[in-house]
Amino acid sequence: MNRRMGSKWRGTAGWSSMVIFLFMAMVISQVTTAYANDKQETEQLVEKARQTMESFLSDENMGGFQDLLKKAHGVLISPQLLKGAFVVGASGGNAVLLVRGKKAEQWSGPAFYTIGGASFGLQIGGEASEVILLAMTERGVTSFLGNSFKLGGDAGVALGPVGIGASAATANLSADILSFSRSKGLYGGVSLDGAVVAVRDGLNEAYYGKKVTPSDIFVRQNVKNLEAIKLIEAVKKGATEKPAGTD
């Protein structure tokens, strides 16, 4: 009797161990797959951010943008901010942030964020926009070091000048953060007043291979990723060279 009970117990324990093993293997597989997907997403986002920056810099209508980039303390680039609306509008997208160092030509980053917001009104349409935010003050940059903040609330935000006369208009701007957007859709532009900017911890971890905070990236500067060199060089070039269309 005791032998049968012992054999039965060992059989049950064996099946239990196998079930636990299979469950753990499944969890590890899912985590590994998610991590790999996040890593791929970060690489694609950094490359698209570089393309967006270079596209803005080559646009003669963005003369005011480049003038202000030369003075900016930080730059947040969202290659694709999506907006769809039917009575209630919602917008959102991923973005990367670079911050200027003590020397004007030094930039660090990127760190990964998401931008999301909602607006109410009689709106029907859809839009995909390239958006760049310039942090013009220390307060503007500091806002990005927390987990999240609201544009227009925790940090003042205003639309940046574009088009003819944009360069002359830059002298009268005093907001912490200036927004620039280029859209292909039914909307003429993107208002980010009230939108929330939040840190993407998962993407930051995937990109740097360990858990990091914006302070680790920008203040302590104890992590780097060589894959960001092309993006950093694009921002550095825009912050030092003359705007497109000028002598």
Interatomic CA distance for residues 79 and 65, integer angstroms: 16
Do the strands 196-199 and 148-150 form a parallel or antiparallel pair, or are they unpaired? Answer: antiparallel
Q: Where are the domains of the chain?
A: 50-240
What digits encode the pLDDT tens for the residues 159-207?
Answer: 776 654 445 444 456 789 998 888 764 333 567 778 889 999 999 999 9
How is residue 6 written in tokens? 């012992």
What digits encode the pLDDT tens for the residues 69-90?
Answer: 999 999 999 998 877 655 555 6
- 232 Cβ contact list (under 8 Å, min separation 6): 98, 107, 109
The model carries a pTM of: 0.78
One pLDDT digit (tens) per residue for the chain, 247 residues: 555 555 554 555 555 555 455 445 444 444 445 556 889 999 999 999 999 999 999 887 777 888 899 999 999 999 988 776 555 556 678 999 999 988 767 899 999 999 987 654 545 556 678 889 999 999 999 999 999 998 888 788 887 766 544 454 444 567 899 988 887 643 335 677 788 899 999 999 999 999 999 999 999 999 999 999 999 999 999 988 765 555 5
CB neighbour class for 109 (10 Å; exposed up to 12, middle 13-18, buried from 19)? buried
